[in-house]
Every structure is written in C-alpha cells, then in structure tokens.
Chain A
Amino acid sequence: DVKVTQSSRYLVKRTGEKVFLECVQDMDHENMFWYRQDPGLGLRLIYFSYDVKMKEKGDIPEGYSVSREKKERFSLILESASTNQTSMYLCASSLRAGKLFFGSGTQLSVL
C-alpha cells in the first residue's frame, strides 16, 4: 500500500517562528500536494508540485512556501507563523491523473 507520512501529528509553535512540515511518500509519485483543512471550509490547496524542484501555487499560498528537493519529499514552510495559520495540514501524493493518497495530517497550533 502507498504510504504518505507526515513527520508530526501535533505541533505547537509560537507566533513568528519558522515552521517546517515534512511529508514523505514511498510510491515514486510525481505529484505532491499540501492542503489545509478548517471546519466549515473543507480542504483548500496551498501548493502542489508535479516534479522535483517544481512548484505551483494553489488557492491559498500566501504566508507559505514549499520545497521539493527529492521526489519522495515535499516540505511546507511557514516563514513566520501567525495565529491564523492554526489548522490541520494534509499532505497528499498521486500518479499523473491518479487518485490522491493522503497522510494522516498535522494539527498545527500557533500561539
């Protein structure tokens, strides 16, 4: 089975800190995605990547950046965390035009 692993299940950070959320997939998928999930808003796409060193903005990229140095790893970076970035962050991967496989999520709290 495909496994998408997110490095932390729960994370607590302070306002202004630089935060790294890590995601690793083990199935050689080209595509990787970062979504955030908020009650009543569903999932919203932050960034995605179709290939190594390639990234594209999603619907809500402000305040975030990403890095994809290796095919299996996709990192989400909050340059200066703010309280409105408190959320559940979900990483996903897929083959081209295939179904998304999701990680279990990272619940980030910014205090």
Chain B
Amino acid sequence: AQSVTQPDIHITVSEGASLELRCNYSYGATPYLFWYVQSPGQGLQLLLKYFSGDTLVQGIKGFEAEFKRSQSSFNLRKPSVHWSDAAEYFCAVGASGTASKLTFGTGTRLQVTL
C-alpha cells in the first residue's frame, strides 16, 4: 500500500527566507506525486505534480519540488517565502493508472514571521 510521511508538523520561517518542506513516500513502482496547499478555511489547491520526466517540477506561486527516487522523497522548496504563504501543506502520492486516488500525508503547517 502507498503511504506518505511528512516529518515536520510545524515550521516557522521569516519572510524572505528560503523554505524546504519534506515529504517521503512509500510505493512499489514509480509514483504520481503531488503537493497541495490549504489556506485557513479553504479547500486544498494543487501547487504542483510529478508524473514522469524531469525530476524538478515547477508549480504555482513560485514553488518547486524535486523527485528523488533513491531517497523516496519529493521535497517542496521556495527560494523566498512571502507572508501569504502561511498555510498548511500536504504531500500526496497516487498509484500510476489511478492517479486520482491519492494518499495524503499528515500535513506541515507553515508559519511566516515578518
């Protein structure tokens, strides 16, 4: 069965600082990987996804993520965080062929200090 681990429950960064959110997955074959963001009181919005090809994927709002098969990781990065990035971030994995049936991690809450 597929699974996702987000080891950081809560992260605080200063505005303008760089950000990296960690995600490790477990899946037997090449997974489909996703990062979603949830702002307070809102549903989830897709930031970026990896299906195949280039292991560095670009998303919306200046985010990027890198798929590392050897480390079973798909970490999310942003070079300079804005106060509006404060939210909860979820990593998710889907099986190839049924990519819409996703398994989510427990989330990382990002706090941004001014």
Contact = CB atoms under 8 A, between A and B. Distances in A.
B22 to A, nearest CB: 14
Contact of B105 (A33, A42, A97, A99): A42
Interface in A52-111: 58-59, 90, 92, 94-100, 102-105
Main secondary structure of the interface of B (DSSP, over half): strand
A42 B91 CA distance: 10
B10 to A, nearest CB: 11
B100 A41 contact: no
B43 A103 contact: yes
B49 A99 contact: yes
B99 A97 contact: yes
A45 B101 contact: yes
Nearest to B109: A39
Interface in B82-114: 90, 97-107
Which size bracket describes the interface of B in this complex?
A: 20 to 34
A102 B9 contact: no
B42 interface: yes
Contacts of A98: 99-100
Nearest to A43: B104
Contacts of B49: 99
Contacts of A94: 100
B44 interface: yes
Contacts of B42: 104-105
A103 B45 CA distance: 10
B100 A90 contact: no
Nearest to B44: A102
B46 interface: yes
Residue of B9, B45, B98, B102 ringed by the most chain A CB atoms within 10 A:
B102
A34 interface: no
A99 B43 contact: no
Interface of B: 6, 9, 32, 34, 36, 41-46, 49, 90, 97-107
